[in-house]
């Protein structure tokens, strides 16, 4: 059993993390079960859905919690991840709330893996992006460009290509991503690839050479070098550590 597993086994009740995120008003946090129904939520999500308490949200799907079309979009994301599709890693989204407000968020969603290795739920969070960080006229194009990068991780990614899709110069794209993520456009693309690789190493038995190609690297040597530089471990060491 891992150190984290040993610690969690000592707790008197399951730790969902929702109480911790109750203190972060600009971030929505949730756990969902195998049926994409809310199992744990923070207070920000309660507020954003126009509910009075956490109990009002538990057991609902996104379609039941949010108005269309937002609820349908979130529901499709949840079901895709539950079906084994790629996690969301900092996806820029426009959220429309029941009180008429709208706001841009960066969303992360990951599958929850059960004791037998099957996907049993989804964990996720959405962090508000300040309007000054993403000018309204650019936000949709930037979101589409970022989504393209996430959907084509097996292709060599170039900052100039991504900037063109966003209708920005490479310098402008770099500035936008530094404001949102705290690092450069090049680092953003590298992080997308490495995060994807981490997921494949944890949840698949694919050979490392195949994972390298899936993540846009020309060969295993280049992939291993970048992975070790970013994570501090080789892909093989990381896989063995996660298996332990």
Token pair for 156: 């060599």
Q: Residue 1: is its pLDDT beyond 70?
A: no
| Predicted local confidence at residue 41, as pLDDT | 96
| Predicted local confidence at residue 103, as pLDDT | 77
φ and ψ at residue 116, rounded to 5 degrees:
-95, 10
| Domains along the sequence of the chain with CATH | 16-129 (3.30.450.20), 130-244 (1.10.10.60)
Q: Residue 40: is its pLDDT beyond 90?
A: yes
Q: What does pLDDT average to over the chain?
A: 87
Check if the beta carbon of residue 160 is closer than 8 Å to that of residue 185.
no
| Predicted local confidence at residue 54, as pLDDT | 96
Q: Residue 228: is its pLDDT beyond 60?
A: yes
pLDDT in tens, 89-111: 888 887 767 667 777 888 999 99
| Predicted local confidence at residue 244, as pLDDT | 58
3-state secondary structure of 129: coil
pLDDT in tens, 142-172: 888 888 998 888 888 789 999 999 999 999 9
Q: Read off the pLDDT of each residue in 180-208 and give the average, rounded to a whole number.
A: 88
Q: How many CA atoms lie within 13 A of 201 on its CB side?
A: 26
**CB burial string 32-49: b at 16+ within 10 A, e below:** beeebbbbbbbbbbbebb
HEC states along 152-215?
CCCCCCCHHHHHHHHCCCHHHHHHHHHHHHCCCHHHHHHHHHHHHHHHHHHHCCCCHHHHHHHC
Q: Residue 80: is its pLDDT beyond 60?
A: yes
Which contiguous run of DSSP H or E holds residue 124? strand 119-128
């Amino acid at each position: 059993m891992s150190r984290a597993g040993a610690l969690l086994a000592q707790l008197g009740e399951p730790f969902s993390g929702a109480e911790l995120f109750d203190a972060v008003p600009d971030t929505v946090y949730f756990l969902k079960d195998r049926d994409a129904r809310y199992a744990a939520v923070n207070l920000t999500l309660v507020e954003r859905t126009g509910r009075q308490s956490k109990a009002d949200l538990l057991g609902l799907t996104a379609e039941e919690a949010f108005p269309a079309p937002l609820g349908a979009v979130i529901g499709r994301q949840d079901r895709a991840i539950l079906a084994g599709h790629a996690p969301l890693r900092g996806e820029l989204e426009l959220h429309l709330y029941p009180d008429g407000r709208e706001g841009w968020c960066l969303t992360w969603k990951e599958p929850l893996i059960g004791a037998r290795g099957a996907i049993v739920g989804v964990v996720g969070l959405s962090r508000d992006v300040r309007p000054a960080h993403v000018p309204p006229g650019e936000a949709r194009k930037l979101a589409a460009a970022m989504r393209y990068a996430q959907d084509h991780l097996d292709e060599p990614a170039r900052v100039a290509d991504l900037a063109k899709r966003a209708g920005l110069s490479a310098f402008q794209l770099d500035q936008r991503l530094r404001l949102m993520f705290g690092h450069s456009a090049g680092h953003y693309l590298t992080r997308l690839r490495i995060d994807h690789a981490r997921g494949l190493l944890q949840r698949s038995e694919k050979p490392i050479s195949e994972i390298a190609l899936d993540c846009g690297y020309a060969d295993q040597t280049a992939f291993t070098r970048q992975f070790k530089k970013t994570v501090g471990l080789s892909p093989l060491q990381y896989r063995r550590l996660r298996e332990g």
